[in-house]
Structure 1
Amino acid sequence: DEDFPSQDPAMPVILIYREKKMRILNPWLHCLIFEVFSKTVGYNFLLTKIHHLWLPKGNMSLVDLVLDFLLVKFCLNDDYDHVLIGGPWFISSHFLTVRHWELEFKASVAVVSATRLFELV
């Protein structure tokens, strides 16, 4: 598959049709990954704060990832667009970094855009 670079020959590779792949990925397309920049906060505290901050019209669910990153899934496209386009978002004076969901997101190498932070200063 052209979407995957060649890998270790000892590692099995499962090829799937593009249509099947899109059905698998589709539920994740309206998810965002975010973190509270330079601050660690508890899951329940954060869930309450972002719910009050973003005021979603539909349901949203939150998944705790690693290294203080979280994934938020919206039921409504309007809520997704509001959070992605709106902002900047802050919780207790701490900036929320917000990014599109990525198939192979790695928190250990995630970088906050210096350009975006500069715009906020």
Structure 2
Amino acid sequence: MGQGLYNIVINEEAKKERWKPWWRSLIVKLMGRKVGYVTMKRRIENMWGRLGELDVIDLGNNYYLVKFYAQEDLDATLVDGPWKIYDHYLAVRLWEPNFNPLTTTIDKITEKILRKIGDLIGRTCKIDYNTSHLCRGNSRDFVSRLI
């Protein structure tokens, strides 16, 4: 075998097979508060563990991957939100290939714009980060209290 560099091309089918274990996973981040891995794992298991088996993996930069073993459990988690830990919202998004916790940011501009719109209607109570990641388009829900 010769010495040098080799270029190996991985086709789309091989990539899909490599990513298969992660299709039923979510990427989560607690907004406005940092907690350690053990605390986050325990809280997530208490909220979602009743549904079935799941794994929690620390991705770094306060992002966690939650791997579900049943599609029904993943679907229920997405639909039943928004979720809170220590009275802070848990941002939830579907897993995606090549996710980088060091370069990914939560869309604060959109949140600020929604809050201003909500405050024009009434006092904004909450912004639901979960619905923006379902197959309902790319919008977010918010609730305003009318006084």
Report the TM-score when normalising by structure 1: 0.78
Work out the CA distance in 2 between the residues paired with 1:35 and 1:98: 7
Work out the CA distance in 2 between the residues paired with 1:95 and 1:120: 14
> Root-mean-square deviation (CA), in Å?
2.2
The farther-off stretch of 54-63 and 94-103 is 54-63
Pairing 1:109–2:104 present: yes
Structure 2, unaligned runs of 5 or more: 115-127, 130-140
SS of the residue 2:67 aligns to? strand
Aligned match for 1:30, one of 24, 30, 38: 24
Aligned match for 2:83, one of 69, 84, 89: 89
Residue in 2 that maps onto 1:119: 142
Work out the CA distance in 2 between the residues paired with 1:86 and 1:44: 24
Structure showing greater relative contact order (alpha-carbon pairs closer than 8 Å, 6 or more residues apart): 1
Q: CA deviation at 1:120?
A: 5.2
Indicate the structure with greater strand content.
2
Residue in 1 that maps onto 2:47: 53
Work out the CA distance in 2 between the residues paired with 1:12 and 1:83: 44
Q: CA offsets per residue over residues 37-73 of structure 1, 9 Å max, x none?
A: 0111111111111112124432111110111000010
> Rg bigger for which structure?
2
Q: Could you tell me the percent identity over the aligned residues?
A: 31
Residue in 1 that maps onto 2:69: 75
Q: CA deviation at 1:17?
A: 2.6
Sort the Cα spacing of 1:55 and 1:109 in 2 relative to 1 into closer, same or farther, 3 A: closer
